[in-house]
Structure 1
Amino acid sequence: MLKIGHRGAKGHAAENTLASFQKAIDLGVDMIELDIQLSLDKVPMVIHDETIDRTTSNVGSVKDYSAKELQKLGIPTLRDVFNLIQNRCDINVEIKTFSATQSILDLMSKNIFDKNKILISSFDWNALQEVRFHDNDIRIGVLTETDLDLALAFAKFIKAYSIHPYYHLLTAENVQKIKEKHFKIFPWTINEPEDITFVTSLNVDGIITDFPERL
């Protein structure tokens, strides 16, 4: 079962920062998960929210700041993370805004990071369709917090690699159904020991957590 660090090691360091990703590596993760928004100058930035209010000392929309301005506030570019990780683990890149899709694909085409170690996921299934349209080989993860059957149908349609459900949706039956269709299952975000025990008992393929050392 893969150990997947949510926004790095969010339980130990500020989320989606280089320090958090380094901490996740130190804790022995197989994969880190991160979020992408787009800067004013169309650079993929690693931040969850559309605004910088919650995670920096400034306020405003990510898309109103240049990449350099955002970096000064501690928000790394996706390229910064590729350079830090150096293929030491896989990276789950979650597209938070459709407009970032092409910039992510462009960066991946520069071969800074092994494409086979990248998994692209999104709640925006149009973004995932765009990724598949441009590249037949990129691993795709279908995110859902509501409807597993719909996610499974879409995963088949798009030839996805994995399904990333909110863990409360999982039962022994639907996990079995997903496995029979040969998709990996990476549920999120599981932090409490009793929840980790329950989800592990379902034989999922990996767990996305703020505390990788608990797995």
Structure 2
Amino acid sequence: MPLSIVGHRGAMTHKPENSLESYALAEQVGVDEIELDVRLSKDEELFLLHDATLDRTAGDDSARGLGPAAELTLAQLQAARLDSGRGVVTLAEMYAATRTFIQLEIKDPATVPHLASYFSTHPDDAGRTILTGFDPDALRHAAELMPTIGRCIIVTSIAVAERFEGGWRALLDHTRSTRFACGLEGLTPEIVDSVHELGLELHVWPMRTTDDMRRAVELGADGTTSDDPELARTWYEQVSAEQTARA
């Protein structure tokens, strides 16, 4: 199967991350999936933001120095001007504006029961979603509340996964993952084969150079996430052509 190209927070090299414009550009260039980040406001509304505060993505002073986003109401989050020219995007807005499969990263474990409630009334959105994250217990909770939605544990390297009691296999079992997202460092074809033997997909990151793509293809990875998904697609086509020429 071809390697899946996932747009990181949309197409964030060219448009403000986690904005409707970024998601639209990612779909325009033909991503297989969009990766984005979900958080919970003070009044328990689901919205999209990578960081714990608005500061890094602020468009002007209205979004700076407000403190943790989790301590702000949705109205406050939407009144603040981000680099997209508007406030945060809600989860429902994102799903209404997109058609692509979604990687939804859980940034705050508190979102899990609220996601379960949302998806119980939005089955079409649930059907094009996989839940991801770095927190094993949050993903385990997601598995318990939303067993029909796929899950993907993310680790920076296989060495980090091995620190989980019982190793990386135990981590996948604990989180009931249907996919494994792992940093390229330390990965081997043997590990990738072992993940596949468990019936799971393996996605790799980061994807910043042609050499990263070459390694992903050589490892037999199923997908990768890129800030510039159109460029990543070009790299993939280049590497695939190289393989064909050698065959």
Which of the five TM-score ranges fits, normalised by the shorter chain?
Answer: over 0.9
Deviation, structure 1 residue 112:
6.2
Report the counterpart of residue 41 of structure 1 in structure 2. Answer: 43
Report the counterpart of residue 90 of structure 2 in structure 1. Answer: 77
- Partner amino acid for 2:148? D
Q: Structure 2 regions of 5+ residues with no counterpart?
A: 82-86, 234-247
Q: Does 1:133 align with 2:126?
A: no
**Larger-gyration structure (1/2):** 2
* Contact 1:70/1:76 (8 A) holds in 2: no
Root-mean-square deviation over aligned CA pairs? 1.6
Deviation, structure 1 residue 24:
0.4
TM-score when normalising by structure 1: 0.92
TM-score when normalising by structure 2: 0.81
Distance in 1 between residues matched to 2:17 and 2:168, nearest whole Å:
27
The within-5 A match list for 1:163-202 is: 163-202=180-219
The within-5 A match list for 1:5-16 is: 5-16=7-18
- Partner amino acid for 1:159? R
| The one of 69, 72, 79 aligned to 1:65 | 72
| The one of 20, 23, 31 aligned to 1:21 | 23
Identity of aligned residues (%): 28
* Contact 2:206/2:212 (8 A) holds in 1: no
Report the counterpart of residue 90 of structure 1 in structure 2. Answer: 101
Deviations, residues 143-194 of structure 1 (Å, cap 9, x unaligned): 1124344343221344321001112232212111111111101122312121
Distance in 1 between residues matched to 2:186 and 2:69, nearest whole Å:
32
* Contact 1:6/1:33 (8 A) holds in 2: yes
Report the counterpart of residue 50 of structure 1 in structure 2. Answer: 52
* Contact 1:145/1:166 (8 A) holds in 2: yes
* Contact 2:42/2:72 (8 A) holds in 1: yes
Q: Structure 1 regions of 5+ residues with no counterpart?
A: none
> Which stretch has the larger CA shift, 183-192 or 118-127?
183-192
Q: Secondary structure at the match of 2:96?
A: helix
Distance in 1 between residues matched to 2:228 and 2:156, nearest whole Å:
21
Deviations, residues 45-67 of structure 1 (Å, cap 9, x unaligned): 11111111101132221112211
Distance in 2 between residues matched to 1:112 and 1:70, nearest whole Å:
27
Report the counterpart of residue 121 of structure 2 in structure 1. Answer: 110
Distance in 1 between residues matched to 2:24 and 2:120, nearest whole Å:
24
Distance in 2 between residues matched to 1:129 and 1:118, nearest whole Å:
16
- Partner amino acid for 2:115? I
* Contact 2:47/2:89 (8 A) holds in 1: yes
